[in-house]
């Protein structure tokens, strides 16, 4: 077992860290305060290939591996949780299912521009009555001639109004499974601008405020028959498989937030003086930092392990990385919440003030315990595997 990074990964980390420091960090506070989507950063990331990292070169991507993508989300999130989730939702939730389940024509039409960053992607599964319980879906798709007609709505959609291509799930009928009638769910690719596809409420969130989180509304929205993604009725499997990958992206975001808060706090405790010495000289601070650093390191190992497992899956689809992804997300999200909360505490009153980055990091961290499967759902996934 070798824990050292390869030359490629060392250079990629250096690239992402430099980009984050120069291009992302200067905007982090402003986009948070103004709830502004950082379009200029997305354009720059597109220029440098950050929006197609794990996609093969012949499909417009960078031809790198899952770990490189994870390090990109991690480094962006160290300075800005919003930027991290933009990359993660685009790559894990939109590119990945099209790359995995798309036809050659769908890949040519949608994957190539998504991987080049010419288009931004989003994913719509959640509905007001169907978050963790995907069977609660209400959005329907009915085949009418050569078109599917979508009706319903999706909520809390990341990259909501800013995306161009959406992977959307809808009920296409009912099927009997183990003697029970279950909803048949299918996946579709929907383009922005399709008549009948509009945007509802913009969510006013606690954190990741620069991220564009919208309700998507479908009213007799007609899309070509060919925009069915994967087989009819396989939507639930596609959604679950996509979320397994998405969880690694969110785990990387959580890891980055924890690392960013730890780094900021280490610098702060060296400078901040109380009772005639820096607060870093007090044993309480030292012990808190030791615990924070240890937990961050543990989270990092789980996140990187999940990334490597997903990479292994790509050459051997028989293996599963579902448990590794759930463990990575569960651990990293809870570490992010704990470390950012302690970071605020170690900053004292200043940590509660918006000029200090840890205030934003703590708000940003909370969502990582909730979206793409709450921590409770991750525990269900892990325990189901242990007890099977």
Partner 1 sequence: MKVIVCIKQVPDTKGGVKFNPDGTLDRAAMLAIMNPDDKAGLEAALRLKDQYGAEVTVLTMGLPKATDTLREALAMGADKAILITDRRLGGADTWATSSTIAAGIRNLEYDLIITGRQAIDGDTAQVGPQIAEHLGIPVISYTQELKIEGDKVIVKRQFDDRYHILEAKMPCLLTALSELNDPRYMTPGGIFDAVKADITTWSRDDLKDLDDANIGLAGSPTKIAKASDKVRKGAGEKVVPDSPDEAVDYIVSKLKEKHVI
Strand, coil or helix: 209 = coil
The 10 Å Cβ neighbour count of residue 298 is 13
Calpha distance 294→314 (Å, rounded): 31
Which of 53, 98, 292, 296 touches partner 1 (CB under 8 A)? 53
Which of 5, 15, 143, 293 touches partner 1 (CB under 8 A)? 15
R_g over Cα of the chain: 21
Calpha distance 342→379 (Å, rounded): 24
250 touches partner 1 (CB under 8 A) = no
CB of 87 to partner 1, least distance (A): 12
Shorter beta-carbon distance to partner 1: residue 61 or 160? 61
Which of 1, 3, 4, 7 touches partner 1 (CB under 8 A)? 7
Candidate segments 48-56, 142-150, 330-338, 365-373, binder of partner 1 by CB under 8 A = 48-56
248 touches partner 1 (CB under 8 A) = no
18 touches partner 1 (CB under 8 A) = yes
Q: Applying CB under 8 A, what is the total number of residues that bind partner 1?
A: 19
CB of 16 to partner 1, least distance (A): 8
CB of 209 to partner 1, least distance (A): 26
Shorter beta-carbon distance to partner 1: residue 61 or 246? 61
The label of the residue with tokens 């499967």 reads: 373
Shorter beta-carbon distance to partner 1: residue 10 or 297? 10
Calpha distance 97→187 (Å, rounded): 9
CA 284 to chain centre: 34
Calpha distance 277→300 (Å, rounded): 32
Which residues, including other chains, have CB under 8 Å from residue 204's CB and lie 6 or more apart? Answer: 35
Backbone angles phi, psi at 96, to 5 degrees: -60, -50
Nearest to 170 by CA among 114, 236, 109, 91: 236
Can 127 be counted among the known catalytic residues? no
Q: Are 73 and 88 in contact (CB under 8 A)?
A: yes
Query: Given 74, 162, 259, 372, which residue is catalytic?
Result: 372
Shorter beta-carbon distance to partner 1: residue 45 or 333? 45
Q: How many residues does the chain have?
A: 388
Which of 5, 17, 48, 293 touches partner 1 (CB under 8 A)? 48
CB of 56 to partner 1, least distance (A): 10
| Span 56-85, contacts to partner 1 by CB under 8 A | 57, 61-64, 68, 72
Query: Which residues bind to partner 1, rule: CB under 8 A?
Result: 6-8, 11-12, 15, 18-19, 48-50, 53, 57, 61-64, 68, 72
């Amino acid at each position: 077992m070798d824990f050292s990074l390869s030359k490629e990964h060392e250079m990629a980390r250096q690239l992402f860290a430099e980009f984050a420091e120069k291009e992302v960090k200067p905007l982090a506070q402003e986009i948070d305060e103004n709830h502004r989507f950082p379009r200029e950063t997305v354009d720059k990331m597109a220029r440098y290939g950050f929006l197609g990292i794990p996609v093969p070169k012949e499909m417009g991507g960078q031809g790198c591996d899952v770990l490189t993508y994870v390090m990109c989300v991690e480094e962006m999130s160290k300075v800005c949780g919003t930027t991290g989730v933009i990359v993660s939702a685009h790559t894990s939730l939109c590119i990945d299912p099209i790359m995995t389940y798309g036809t050659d024509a769908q890949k040519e039409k949608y994957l190539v521009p998504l991987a080049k960053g010419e288009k931004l992607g989003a994913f719509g599964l959640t509905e007001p009555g169907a978050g963790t319980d995907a069977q609660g879906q209400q959005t329907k798709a009915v085949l009418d001639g050569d078109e599917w007609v979508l009706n319903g709505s999706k909520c809390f959609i990341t990259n909501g109004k800013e995306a161009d291509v959406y992977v959307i799930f809808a009920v296409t009928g009912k099927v009997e499974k183990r003697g029970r009638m279950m909803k048949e769910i299918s996946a579709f690719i929907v383009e922005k601008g399709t008549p009948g596809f509009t945007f509802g409420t913009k969510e006013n969130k606690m954190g990741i405020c620069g991220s564009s989180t919208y309700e998507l509304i479908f009213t007799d929205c007609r899309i070509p028959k060919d925009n069915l993604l994967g087989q009819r009725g396989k939507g639930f499997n596609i959604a679950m498989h996509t979320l397994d990958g998405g969880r690694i992206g969110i785990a990387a975001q959580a890891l980055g937030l924890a690392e960013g808060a730890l780094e900021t706090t280490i610098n702060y405790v060296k400078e901040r003086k109380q009772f005639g010495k820096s607060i870093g000289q007090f044993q309480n601070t030292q012990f808190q930092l030791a615990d924070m650093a240890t937990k961050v390191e543990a989270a990092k190992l789980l996140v990187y392990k999940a990334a490597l497992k997903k990479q292994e899956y790509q050459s051997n689809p028989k293996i599963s990385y579902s448990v590794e992804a759930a463990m990575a997300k569960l651990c990293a999200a809870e570490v992010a919440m704990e470390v950012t909360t302690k970071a605020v505490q170690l900053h004292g009153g200043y940590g509660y003030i918006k000029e200090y980055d840890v205030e934003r990091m703590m708000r940003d961290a909370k969502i990582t315990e909730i979206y793409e499967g709450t921590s409770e759902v991750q525990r269900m996934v892990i325990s189901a595997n242990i007890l099977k």
